[in-house]
Structure 1
Amino acid sequence: MLAVLGFATIAAFLYAIMTKRLSVLVALILIPAIAGLLAGAGPGLGKMMLDGIGRVAPVGVMIIFAVLYFGLMLDVGLFDPMIRRLLRLVKGDPIKVALATAVLTMAVALDGDGATTFLITVSAMLPLYQRLGMNRLVLSGIVALGAGVMNIIPWGGPTVRAMAALKADASALFNPVVPAMAVGIVWVLVVAYILGRRERTRLGLAGRPGGTAAPQPASLSAASNPVADLPQDGDDLVPAAEGKVALERPWLFWFNAVLTVVLVVALLMTWLPLPVLFILAFAVALPVNYPSWEQQQKHLVAHAASVVTVSTMIFAAGIFTGVLTGTKMIDAMAAAAVSVIPPSLAGYLPVIVAVTSMPLSLVFTPDAYYFGVLPVLAQSAASLGVDPVLVGRGAILGQMTTGFPLSPLTASTFILIGLCGVNLGDHQRFIFPWAFGTTLVMTAVAFATGVLG
């Protein structure tokens, strides 16, 4: 009964947001609350919700101050010189922009942290997309693909969990998958090229020499707010004369540049917890760039809509996962998923796991899958004469790797869509086929090379 209710809850949520019957925020709160009541949670429902909020609280705090920090740097013009150079480099060609997005994402994703990858990559590329008038779903989609395939690395969350659950090391679980992962990287670049070509055609640039884009009327300051679809009444509160202070005062530009580089290095090296790093960086940057109290308040008000929208979705996602976990619906769904595999298909179990791994990212949290579903699958495989490590290899080809930047069960997904200013349902519809394609391509290569048995 719990398993059916759990699957129904996930299905209802996906239906509500993809058909836009409910906003993501409302769906994340109301649907699990109703499901929790139906599951008999009763008085315990509130504690489950608070537990879920507590688990995502550090991420919520981080994104609040990350939006404020990068918004400040965009406001004062820190990224303008880089954007101008990128524009000259890509010559206004959406194909080159899309490819650059993929390469940058996969390079930054080597640190193994999805939130950091999204914060750095989107902050760097979003102004360029806005300047050229490119669809921000292309940005969120390519970043999702690049981060997803790179999340297979041994220090990434899914592979670490798989190694722990199966008591296997990287040489047995990850190393054989490297050729499939390499093909997955190539696939991401191919998809980026295709999406970039579509954007070139949509923008009417196919006939221009080199695909050069016509000048866009929007200024870069429009990119300072990650959620550009929302009404930004506060944008007018930052006077134009104050807008590019870093460009008007060279020492301030270099101060901001050094501070941002130190912040990025600190994020990658984890010198302090990520939320603390952003809090400290913003606290230093704001008074240096805007010395007066009035200027500081204007900046905070100008970005209030972005902060509220993104952070509330993250806390709502905590409620969603808190209820599913607290009511044991996740555990029941894990047992049900394992029970439907007949013994006659035991030899193909690693392939089945690989093919289903990406879509199941929409249903299971990484902990629920790797510590709940995977051990049962591995034990079943062993009893039928199949090496459990093969099942683990199949799992990391999609479960919370290619699937995590689309899943409503991971807070970093909301960081990505919030920074890009896109709707979760639109993002899922746009990139799901390509993300699932990444898993299928890697699965085919892994099967052909004997990695899956």
Structure 2
Amino acid sequence: MRLIMLSILGFSTIVLFMFLVMTNRMSAFVAIIVSPIIFAIVGGFGQDLGPMMLEGIKLVAPTAVLLLFAVLYFGVMMNVGLFDPISRSILKIAKGDPVKIVVGTAILALLVALDGDGTTSYMIICSAMLPIYKKLGINPLILATIAVMSLGTISGMTPWGGAATRAISVLGLDATEYFTPLIPAILCGSAWIILTAYVLGRRERKRLGIIQLEKINQEMAANQEMAATIAEGQPVTSKLVWFNFLLTLALMVALIMGLAPLPVLFIVGFVIALSVNHPNLAEQKSIIKENASHAVPVVMLVLGAGIFTGILSGTKMVDSMASDLLRIVPDSLGPFFTIIVGLISLPLSFLMSNDAFFFGALPVLAQSASEYGINSMEIARAAVIGQPLHSMGPTSAPLWVLLELVRRDLGQFQRYALIPVTILSLMFIVFALITGAISIAR
């Protein structure tokens, strides 16, 4: 009875949070803290809330530091116009056609997501594409949706991404054996994302038409409203342009090679970028103040997500929800358990942090699957299918950076993106079955 009550409290927490955010009753930061506190008190955990919340904050503290300095770093790069040439080149190739721009966004997002880090992926995509979206009047929620789908597909399922790494380690699997059969499904999913981008682009073309490139160029010459504009009074030299490019490239290489912890890399990168591009002390203060307005809300939300996760984990609501979802599966559906895990991963990945899902729920799912003769390798592949939905859930820290960049709140984004992202996740189950990444037990 106690476990059932914990599940009810856990699901009630999620429902209340989603209701408050999607109906704009509260900001995401307030709702993500208030919702778990209310139901933890109802469950009799009031006296333990402090340590649980602090534990959650400790868990996300490195991520909060990373996001703070990543936002500041890319803020400097956007101010000095590092990504302007990319934006102009894409605009010339697309010739003002929203379809080509949105499809180009999908291709770029899929390639950038290979680095495995959501924060840097979103920042690079938005730095290159968001100025174009603003200039042509394309809905930035399209960019956010495509970016989330791409990150959940590539970073979420490749063995160097966070989710798959957790699945491989907790189940003791071989990374190559896990990944190779999954490649065809990932390629199919990537093609589906490009198709989705084409459909969304067609809608925008119908709404906006094809914008004349000459008109855009005139506007760009008349004023510099693009996100990647040159900072006022900052002299532009080819040396600085090349320095910023090489610095960013070096940062990405160091990130991929794991030469230092990510927060350390971005702290050092930001200090170098700020010192070289803005050697004047007054300039430095101004730049920090300007970009802090974007960084602080992101850090607040990440800390709020840590409190949310800390309470749900500390009260064992997460464990209880996972166990109860398993109990409702009848024995007659045992041969289809891999598919069931794929389906269960959709809501669980959306609601839980990756740590809670892969370290808490996945071992339980794998143990249950073994009773039906299903090996843990297929369960691991099925478990990562929910990653596109996780990427748009409240516990995904990089999402808050993306929302800040496109200037939209969580409720707006989830209302727009939930259907296409859910369809992608369901199609992944189909692709995985067709390509043999997962199978039905005989």
TM-score by structure 2 length?
Answer: 0.91
What is the DSSP-based 3-state SS (H/G/I as helix, E as strand, rest coil) of the residue aligned with 2:81? coil
Counterpart CA distance in 2 for 1:266 and 1:7 is 41
Change (3 A) 1:316 1:168: same
1:130 lines up with 2:116 in the alignment: no
Greater Cα offset, 216-225 or 326-335 = 216-225
Contact 1:53–1:315, Cα closer than 8 Å, also in 2: yes
The residue aligned with 1:185 is 190
For residues 192-207 of structure 1, the aligned pairs below 5 Å read 192-205=197-210
Instruction: Please list the CA deviations of residues 266-306 of structure 1 after superposition, one character each: whole Å capped at 9, or x if unmatched.
Output: 22222221111221122122232222222222222222321
How far did residue 224 of structure 1 move? Answer: 5.4
Instruction: Please list the CA deviations of residues 158-209 of structure 1 after superposition, one character each: whole Å capped at 9, or x if unmatched.
Output: 222222333332354332222222111100110111112222222233xx67
1:452 lines up with 2:439 in the alignment: yes
Change (3 A) 1:88 1:336: same
Contact 1:382–1:388, Cα closer than 8 Å, also in 2: yes
Instruction: Work out the number of aligned pairs and report it.
Output: 433
Counterpart CA distance in 2 for 1:421 and 1:30 is 23
Change (3 A) 1:155 1:260: closer
Change (3 A) 1:179 1:257: closer
The residue aligned with 1:96 is 100
The residue aligned with 1:311 is 299
How far did residue 69 of structure 1 move? Answer: 1.8
Contact 1:359–1:436, Cα closer than 8 Å, also in 2: no
* One-letter amino acid of the counterpart of residue 393, structure 2: S
Counterpart CA distance in 1 for 2:329 and 2:358 is 17
1:412 lines up with 2:398 in the alignment: yes
How far did residue 213 of structure 1 move? Answer: 6.3
How far did residue 435 of structure 1 move? Answer: 1.4
The residue aligned with 1:139 is 143
How far did residue 79 of structure 1 move? Answer: 2.0
How far did residue 447 of structure 1 move? Answer: 2.4
Change (3 A) 1:387 1:273: closer
Greater Cα offset, 285-294 or 386-395 = 386-395
Counterpart CA distance in 1 for 2:373 and 2:73 is 54
For residues 402-441 of structure 1, the aligned pairs below 5 Å read 402-441=388-427
What is the DSSP-based 3-state SS (H/G/I as helix, E as strand, rest coil) of the residue aligned with 1:168? coil
* One-letter amino acid of the counterpart of residue 146, structure 1: S
* One-letter amino acid of the counterpart of residue 428, structure 1: Q
How far did residue 41 of structure 1 move? Answer: 2.1
The residue aligned with 2:348 is 360
Counterpart CA distance in 1 for 2:334 and 2:175 is 24
The residue aligned with 1:232 is none
* One-letter amino acid of the counterpart of residue 245, structure 1: Q
* One-letter amino acid of the counterpart of residue 260, structure 1: T
Contact 1:75–1:221, Cα closer than 8 Å, also in 2: no
* One-letter amino acid of the counterpart of residue 163, structure 1: I
For residues 110-259 of structure 1, the aligned pairs below 5 Å read 110-150=114-154, 151-205=156-210, 219-223=223-227, 243=232, 245-247=234-236, 249-259=237-247
How far did residue 264 of structure 1 move? Answer: 2.1
Q: Which runs of 5+ in 2 are unaligned?
A: none
1:109 lines up with 2:113 in the alignment: yes
What is the DSSP-based 3-state SS (H/G/I as helix, E as strand, rest coil) of the residue aligned with 2:227? helix
**C-alpha RMSD of the superposition:** 2.4
Counterpart CA distance in 1 for 2:64 and 2:232 is 27
1:45 lines up with 2:34 in the alignment: no
What is the DSSP-based 3-state SS (H/G/I as helix, E as strand, rest coil) of the residue aligned with 2:170? helix
1:75 lines up with 2:61 in the alignment: no
TM-score by structure 1 length?
Answer: 0.89
Instruction: Please list the CA deviations of residues 207-236 of structure 1 after superposition, one character each: whole Å capped at 9, or x if unmatched.
Output: x679996865795545259xxxxxxxxxxx
Query: What is the aligned-residue identity percentage?
Result: 42
